[in-house]
Structure 1
Amino acid sequence: MPGYPPDVNALVFPGVYAPQDDTALLAEALSDEPWEPGARVLDVGTGSGALALVAARRGAEVTAVDVSWRAVWTARLNARLSRLPVRIHRGNLFGPVRGRSFDVVLANPPYVPAPDSRRGPRGRSRAWDAGRDGRLVLDRICRDAPRLLRPGGVLLIVHSALSAPDRTLDRLRAAGLEAAVVRRRRIAFGPVLRSRRGWLRERGLLSAAQAADEKEELVVIRAERPLRQAA
């Protein structure tokens, strides 16, 4: 994709989430993480596999998961074309890696608030729609990801400021992790947010200034499991 770091580029089939600003921001945060060759990295909701490939190029032992078969096959093809050994599984969040532990867990989940969430997202919208508050998947990650981290392990998660970053921080800290926002970036609304601008204003998720400016803020939250948990 023009303007993005080469490592974030990937072949993308129709119906699969393409690397965007949130992908690039998470890749930048990932580049700040030091690890030894063979570190175990999990990319949950991998989409095209772009972030999994970034980690694999740095010598990590990478596992990737996505609920979409299209995404799984896309990520597998990208790994094969890149000649990188990434294990890619189809499954719902952490189900395929239950019982395992990791040095780094990456998550770029769906986080866009959606007006009609009675049936849950379907088709392509599963890559971005996340319930009326945008936290349908975020809260599950905050609940389950800490258990997958080794001592000293790190969770890196990206989402919109429209989806309550303070709630993410509170939940991760309550799970015993040391959590903070490490990256921020303001970006222009995409077509989904533009189409929901009025509804977001009604819900109080978007200010008048934000609606007029048509900009949202993305954040990357870093949460680390201490080497020694408090008694």
Structure 2
Amino acid sequence: MIPDLSHDRIDRLREAFLSAGYDADGVVELLGPAAHAALGRGEPVPALRAAADAGELGTLVRLFLLGEAEPRTAVEAALHPLPLSEALAAGLVVADGDALRAGLDVRPHGVGEDSWWVISDLDSDLRGGRPVEPDHVLGVGQASLSLVRATSRRPVGSLLDLGTGCGVQALHASTHAGSVTATDVSRRALALAEATFRLNRIDVELAEGEWFDPVRGRRFDQVVCNPPFVVGPARTDFVYRDSGLAGDDASALVVRQLPSFLAEGGTGQLLASWVHRRGEDWEDRVSGWLPPGGVDAWFVQRDVADPALYVGTWLRDAGYDPRSPQGRRKAAEWLDWFEANDVLGVGFGFVTLRRTGAARGEVVCEDLRHAFDDPLGPESDRWLRRVDWLRAHGSDEQLLATPLRTADSTVLEEVSAPGDEGWQNLVHRLHRTDGPGWQHEVDELGVRLLAGCRGALPLGDVVELLALGCGEDAEELTRAALPVVRELLRHGMVIPAEWAEEDR
């Protein structure tokens, strides 16, 4: 059933929220940092205490954020000027005896200076622990927030949000895209997304259909996608996570087709999953999904889950108790499929794609499972810029003729052990202190080379001086240094000297 969220009802709901101060800042101010943090951890009591006797804002917080049953008179006052009868007809609230509960999840969502409201379906916890429905529309979860952080925010003319769900990616896209198009296969998702956009006064073109079908023949400056990437048998228990395709075919489909919907130089960012199979390299697997031609691709693996953990996590996500008869049956079917297909684990991460005029694209797969806090969105822009620079300076002669500078964010760690003649150095490790926090081990000559990269001399001169000072053969040292320098350039640990001047 699709809720009847007419424009008039949504407009009145917006008035109610504005009047009560039910927005991201208002909720944080009401609850306070400690109770707000506890709510984010799934601990409602501090928030309940803070929202008590807090007027209409308190009623809305208890109703929509905490899932409490509220008196009709209190809800009617909090939703004014939206009549209670209209809120019931729209499915925003439902009767619970003499009281009312939320029928939909309507909550503020704020990042930085931006604040919106998002309408989605209630998760399992707010449904009393019952499993969600097959056409469940997921709200703002960790996966969607991860994609928000991994998406480039450079200004673009047109953007496609493929599989918009509740519309959260499109909301963020509205801050940097001239026009936004959002698609979904689910009519319920499109109805809730349309209501979300209306509630926030954001103009988004909506289209219904599978995958890229609604936008065939069109190209965009940017595409973002949080697809139904869950790996498993070819079935669709829940449209928000299951594609109906077996294994990791959903992720493969998006990676394979997305570049053809990009304008020249356009970029795409998506979440994806891939299987780790016995005897197969995951890097070969995902790079094999790419279409032929000029596509730059950066695959970042952030986690690998063993099959048992993977299945248990997604069962709980949908509200199934893994110990229940239904949970056991689904887990057994899922694990049987993994075993039959030699799946040792499931990788998860982010993919950045760019349509380029180059005859051959740059394809890099990296395992970044270590902890880091910086978002990948800005880094993806910088990564593509570095790819362009390396492509333009592809020959050894061009690179050697260029002054380079060790980036200010690069630091050196040295590990030593006691020996007969004092401390003996074991490791020289470079760390990048921002972005994904890359690390590279180098030898003593590498340490000295980077110390000499201060932007004053071309790289070739620095290598020759180092060879002269250390008694090394210059040609051999050059051959050894060039691949190391290229890798450090790709990771932003060494940069062209002109970039350092631009940043000052």
Q: TM-score range by the shorter chain?
A: 0.7 to 0.9
Offset from partner CA, 1:80-128 (integer Å, 9 cap, x none) = 111111111111111221221111111111122233x2xx42xx51222
Give the corresponding residue for 1:150.
263
Distance 1:166 1:125, change over 3 A: farther
- Cα 1:143–1:173 change in 2 (3 A) is closer
Q: 2:121 aligns with which of 4, 9, 13?
A: 13
Q: Taking structure 1 as reference, are residues 18 and 44 closer, same or farther at Cα in structure 2, changes over 3 Å only?
A: same
The answer on 1:89 being equivalent to 2:203 is no
The alpha carbon displacement at 1:165 in A equals 6.7
Q: Is residue 2:335 matched to residue 1:198? A: yes
Structure number with the higher helix fraction is 2
Of 80-89 and 160-169, deviating more is: 160-169
Superposed CA RMSD in Å reads 3.1
Cα distance in 2 for residues equivalent to 1:9 and 1:219: 27
TM-score under structure 1 normalisation? 0.77
Kindly indicate whether the alpha-carbon contact (under 8 Å) linking 2:117 and 2:196 is maintained by their aligned counterparts in 1.
no
Q: CA deviation at 1:157?
A: 1.4
Letter in 1 for 2:238: S
Distance across 2 between alignment mates of 1:12 and 1:23: 13
Q: Structure 1 residues 176 and 73 mapped into 2: Cα distance closer, same or farther (>3 Å)?
A: same
Q: Which position in structure 2 is the counterpart of 1:132?
A: 246
Contact kept? 2:274, 2:286, Cα under 8 Å:
no
The 1:169–1:2 alpha-carbon spacing in structure 2 relative to 1, beyond 3 Å, is farther
Cα drift, residue 205 of structure 1:
2.3
Query: Is 1:41 the equivalent of 2:159?
Result: yes
From 314, 336, 349, the counterpart of 1:219: 349
- 1:103–1:218: structure 2 CA closer, same or farther, 3 Å change rule? same
TM-score between the two structures when normalised by the length of structure 2: 0.38
1:28 aligns with 2:141: no
The answer (yes or no) to whether the contact 2:231–2:274 under 8 Å persists in 1 is no
> Higher relative CO (CA 8 A, sep ≥ 6), structure 1 or 2?
1
Secondary structure in 2 matching 1:114 = coil
Alpha-carbon distance in structure 1 between the residues aligned to 2:196 and 2:359:
42
CA distance change for structure 1 residues 35 and 19 in 2, over 3 Å: closer, same or farther? same
Say which SS state the counterpart of residue 6 (structure 1) adopts: strand
Aligned counterparts of 2:143 and 2:337: Cα–Cα separation in 1: 20
Cα shift at 1:150:
0.8
Deviations 1:160-179 (A, max 9, x none): 34486753333226353110
Give the drift of 1:141: 1.9
2:231 and 2:273 in contact (8 A); partners too: no
Q: Distance in 2 between matches of 1:93 and 1:16?
A: 17
Q: Is 1:2 aligned with 2:2?
A: no
Alpha-carbon contact 2:164-2:170 (below 8 Å) kept:
yes
Amino acid of the structure 2 residue aligned with 1:29: A
Residue 213 of structure 1 aligns with which residue?
none
Distance in 2 (alpha carbons) for counterparts of 1:82 and 1:76: 10
Deviation at 1:180, TM superposition (A): 1.0
Task: Select the residue among 359, 364, 368 that pairs with 1:230.
Answer: 359
Q: CA deviation at 1:35?
A: 2.7
One-letter code of the match for 2:335? Answer: G
CA gap of 1:166–1:223, structure 2 versus 1, over 3 A, is: farther
Distance 1:178 1:200 in 2: 33
Map Cα deviations across residues 25-50 of structure 1 (whole Å, 9 max, x no partner): 111111xx2433x5211011111010
Whether contact under 8 Å (2:301, 2:347) holds in the other structure is no
CA distance in 2, matches of 1:129, 1:83: 31
Cα distance, 1:61 vs structure 2: 1.2
**Structure 1 pair 179/9, CA: closer, same or farther in 2 (3 Å)?**
farther
Q: CA deviation at 1:13?
A: 2.7
**Secondary structure of the equivalent of 1:85?**
coil
Unpaired runs of 5+ residues, structure 2, are: 1-38, 42-107, 123-135, 277-281, 317-321, 323-329, 361-504
